[in-house]
Amino acid sequence: MSRHLNALISSSQLRQTLLFDRGQVGFGLDSVRETIVGVTMPRTAKPHFILAVDFGGSSTKIFYQHRSDQPQFFTMPPEAIMATEDSLEQYGRTAAGQMSQMQSQASFCWVQLLDQKGQPDESKIGAVGHLGAQIALYNTLNVAKNEKALYKLLGAVWVIQQRLIEEGYKIPDDFGVAVRCLLPSDETNFVGDFQYRVISAFEQGFMSPTGIVQPQLWSFDCKPEGLGVTRSFLWEHPEHRDAAVFMLGHRNATAVVIRGGNPKKFRTSNLGFRACLDMLDGAHGVSAERLMAVVFEARLKDDFYPYYRVTSYSDPDLKEKAGRELCQEFNKANHVYCERLKNWMDDVLSDEEFTAIVFCGGGVNAVGLLLEDYRPDLEHYFDYGIDIPDSIEVRPEYVNRLEDIYSVFEAMRAEFRFPEPDAEAAESSASSAAVAR
């Protein structure tokens, strides 16, 4: 991007244009281009890869695709913590740090922003994912998602670049990237500033474990959470012109109100599934983070054994007793949480007419059955979203947690005319991954 464009974007007039009010559903870099006559981004036939990022509270979820290959998916822990060179070096010398560096790029991921002179800024080093969690040693989820989203996004770009190089792709230093991402609707006032920081970081470049990375930002757009599923629902069910989509995430619960066949209002609360887990945090020595994983596993297996496994007792009898009690205590907490959720949904649905409600997001895995009797006068849609193709490997615990970001990714894939997901093509690609393309 030209520095002329960078200067224009920093102007107060354009920064105001970039601000994203609650009535809008997205404002991307393509719209910025239309605002600035005669200034365009450098182009290749297509970006080298596209990616869609969900900065979720349980994990950072990333779909990406090289322009001549199949879509792929990976996750990173949700942490992003400000670090120093000393803290990175100190952890890197530990046995755990050395093991992380040997495992994968995603296990030892950090990025450092550059200043206006192109020099590394010592105050802007972000340790992302597993590395961030190891350095922080505490829960970082109370920070607004947009505050650390830049480091997560740049970390994902670097990880994807390295993955593609390992697979044999020839990725130039100035590779092109198109980005879509999600943020809660109550953070939309910050989207303009977030977008400005993204554009600046791509313009200046950033440091990584393998050196300076300076890709071309081909396209950028940030959507409010829930919009991907909402658009997919409207496409499949145009008859429901007045409906509500409730997305039960880890940290937030999001409501999208559809009026006249269009998303009109976004509401966000702190009633994500974490609110249920926090009622049990520390019970029988089990943290909310560990409990989250076993709750979904126990639901899939319809068994209390996952609770038994994570309790802190070594005596088999005590361990079994604690596991059964933990299972019972979770069921009680889940009912309390569900009642709080229903009260909030009542408020969202008050004073307006609806024909249907959609329940989606990872929280549906745990509370779906308890919502079946909610508003029986309305048509219910559970576990709604685009079916993720079998060619994309997704672990069972991510059922219902990917509909929103995959809906955004699928629209992006179609927009850039990247290859459609195909199981046979994916197998063929995997078998020839060592061949340079």
What pLDDT, on the 0 to 100 scale, is given for residue 13? 35
What pLDDT, on the 0 to 100 scale, is given for residue 433? 43
pLDDT above 70 for 27: no
Q: How many residues comprise the chain? A: 437
pLDDT above 80 for 347: yes
What pLDDT, on the 0 to 100 scale, is given for residue 32? 38
Whole-angstrom distance, CA of residue 423 vs CA of residue 413:
16
Query: pLDDT tier at 386 (50, 70, 90 boundaries)?
Result: low
What pLDDT, on the 0 to 100 scale, is given for residue 16? 33
Query: pLDDT tier at 381 (50, 70, 90 boundaries)?
Result: very high
What pLDDT, on the 0 to 100 scale, is given for residue 12? 33
What pLDDT, on the 0 to 100 scale, is given for residue 29? 47
Q: How far is CA 285 from CA 133, 278, 304, 305, 411, in A?
A: 20, 13, 17, 16, 44
Query: pLDDT tier at 424 (50, 70, 90 boundaries)?
Result: low
Query: pLDDT tier at 351 (50, 70, 90 boundaries)?
Result: confident
Token pair recorded at residue 422: 């195909």
Identify the weakest region by mean pLDDT among 40-54, 205-219, 397-411: 40-54
Token pair recorded at residue 230: 């909402």
Give the residue among 271, 272, 292, 270 at the shortest CA–CA distance from 281.
292
Query: pLDDT tier at 397 (50, 70, 90 boundaries)?
Result: confident
What average pLDDT does this structure show over 126-145?
A: 79
> Average pLDDT of the chain?
84
What pLDDT, on the 0 to 100 scale, is given for residue 422? 81
CB 383 within 8 A of CB 368: yes
**Higher-pLDDT residue of 39, 390:** 390
Element (H, E) at 113: strand 109-114
Instruction: Write the CB contacts of 382 (distance below 8 Å, at least 6 apart in sequence).
Output: 359, 360, 364, 368, 371, 372
DSSP label at residue 368: G
Question: Nearest 5°: CA angle at 235, between 230 and 241?
Answer: 70
What pLDDT, on the 0 to 100 scale, is given for residue 427? 53
pLDDT above 60 for 23: no
What pLDDT, on the 0 to 100 scale, is given for residue 394? 85
Token pair recorded at residue 219: 């396209």
pLDDT above 70 for 195: yes
375: left (phi over 0), alpha (psi -120 to 50) or beta: left
Which amino acid appears at position 166 of this protein? E
What pLDDT, on the 0 to 100 scale, is given for residue 305? 85
**Higher-pLDDT residue of 401, 71:** 71
pLDDT above 60 for 76: yes
Pairing relation of β-strands 356-360 and 243-248? parallel
CB 184 within 8 A of CB 254: yes
Instruction: Write the CB contacts of 351 (distance below 8 Å, at least 6 apart in sequence).
Output: none
Element (H, E) at 222: strand 216-224
User: Model confidence over 142-173: pLDDT tens digits?
Assistant: 666 778 899 999 999 999 999 999 999 999 99
User: Model confidence over 197-230: pLDDT tens digits?
Assistant: 999 999 999 999 999 999 999 999 999 999 999 9
pLDDT above 90 for 390: no
User: Model confidence over 280-319: pLDDT tens digits?
Assistant: 887 888 888 888 878 888 877 777 888 888 888 889 899 9
What average pLDDT does this structure show over 318-331?
A: 91
**What domains are defined for the chain?**
3-224+393-431 (no CATH), 237-385 (3.30.420.40)
